[in-house]
Amino acid sequence: MSIKSFGAKLFAKHIVSKTEAWASTPEATQLKVFKYLIKKASQTQFGRDHNFETIKNYSDYAKQVPVRDYEELKVYVDKVVAGNPNILWPGKPQYFAKTSGTTSGAKYIPITAESMPMHTNAARDAILHYIAETGNRSFVDKKMIFLQGSPELQEKNGIQTGRLSGIVAHYVPGYLQKNRMPSWETNCIDDWETKVDAIVEETIKEDMSIISGIPSWVQMYFERLNAKTGKKVGELFPNFNLFIYGGVNYEPYRKKFENLIGRRVDSIELYPASEGFFAFQDSQKEKGMLLLLDSGIFYEFIEAASFFDENPDRLTIGQVKTGVNYVMIISTTAGLWSYNVGDTVMFTSTKPYRVIVSGRIKHFISAFGEHVIGKEVEEALASTATSFKAQVSEFTVAPQINPEVGLPYHEWFIEFDKEPEDVNAFAKAIDLALQEQNSYYKDLITGKVLETLKINVVPKGGFNTYMKSKGKLGGQNKLPRLANDRKIADALNEFGF
């Protein structure tokens, strides 16, 4: 046993003990975070504008601070970006995480000296929980790869700016630097396909043990390894035994990954975002990710079904229930206040509080009142693919409101690695699985308002071609699985898909 391996075991025990302490007192932990945030930001411009000094409890806060998304908070963020101090949080941010915006172009999410450690410690703690539970720690002495955006940063009014994954790359602890791949030079390559080829060359003869990244882009890396060597990833890397991922649901990729690897490997799911690191999978035995209640983030939840009502109920951690679809709202040590991240979550447990990401509040289909969400389409597709022994590479779904013939329907674009023998039967099976999960959708089908869904088979590499055409190939970019409009669908049709 190496010194590093022995140290990891002791550190894991310490971190798990700390986690159990705050997880066992969730409401008190969140109240402590809430009070700290209000006191710390009381003299900022936002704090003065919203009378933080008069806030005595959460009820006061909810009355004085409305829920906002980035566009609604932008008047404050713009002042921070311009270099003004003490706007959303005392002083100036340490970084801006630059992300793709909607109506306002690029978004600049502040990361402060207080919020930065939360981004780095959570990923570390996820691995330590895995070590504590499984006893597996041999990987700490071997090579690890993190597929991420370029670590090169730019300066904006004296503040370092870049992609979140690139910012985090500057904080890899010293004890992992010798094990970490790819090299700095390769990590700085902008073109994703060139970068993946360079990573293949760097890693092909290494003893890789951990591979981490968004599943769709790790899949590309695995496929390039297969193409170059003719070998399974697990044969190339016999000590590869842990896949760490976040950003999208892994289940639609699992069968494909097991085929590319040649065996099943353990996995850890993370829930990071530019706005904060919210949760990680703390157990291989339990469903869901542990919500991080002691990381400088105060959480509110609004039922997704009533989110667009005029005054929906805002709930705190002690009021949520399992199995309900909630929009997650956050206030943080980065100066985001009752901020709508855009994600929807469901609690799988309240002792402790574990969540799954069920979708995006703007990524759903409800053109006819069905309100189909990401979790439902992913589970329907995954179960059907298993029963048909099919393998799905990528997919997206949109409503077809005005078909040339017949009733409206949901149009699915699916890229297969292994296509089912009968695509029409496959489509009917998905439709039935979706009806079982969503009674509104079932009523529309049985009531002859909608036809059953239809599938367009996308040729292999088709989604990568589409993403490349939009300048969104690789990095943290993800294909939306659901849309309530036809922007993506029409663009795919233009490609002939």
State the CATH number of the domain containing residue 451: 3.30.300
pLDDT for 219: 86
Tell me whether residue 417 is in a domain. Answer: yes
Tell me whether residue 218 is in a domain. Answer: no
pLDDT for 102: 45
**Residue 429 CB contacts under 8 Å (≥ 6 apart), including other chains:** 384, 387, 388
At 272 the three-state DSSP class reads strand
Query: What pTM, to 2 d.p., does this model score?
Result: 0.81
Number of structural domains (the chain) is 1
**Rg of the Cα trace of the chain?**
23
Tell me whether residue 406 is in a domain. Answer: yes
Residue of 383, 487, 358 whose CA lies nearest to 435: 383
pLDDT for 142: 86
pLDDT for 1: 54
Tell me whether residue 222 is in a domain. Answer: no
Range of the domain at 399: 374-494
Tell me whether residue 404 is in a domain. Answer: yes
Rounded-to-integer distance, Cα 187 and Cα 343, Å: 29
pLDDT for 103: 45
Tell me whether residue 450 is in a domain. Answer: yes
DSSP 292-332: -TTSSEEEEEEEGGGTTSSS---B-GGG--BT--EEEEEEE
Residue of 420, 418, 454 whose CA lies nearest to 434: 454
pLDDT, mean of each 10-residue run, the chain (497 residues): 71 95 98 98 98 97 96 96 97 91 72 94 93 88 84 91 88 72 88 89 94 86 94 96 87 85 95 95 96 98 90 97 96 98 94 91 78 87 94 93 90 95 96 91 88 95 88 75 88 86
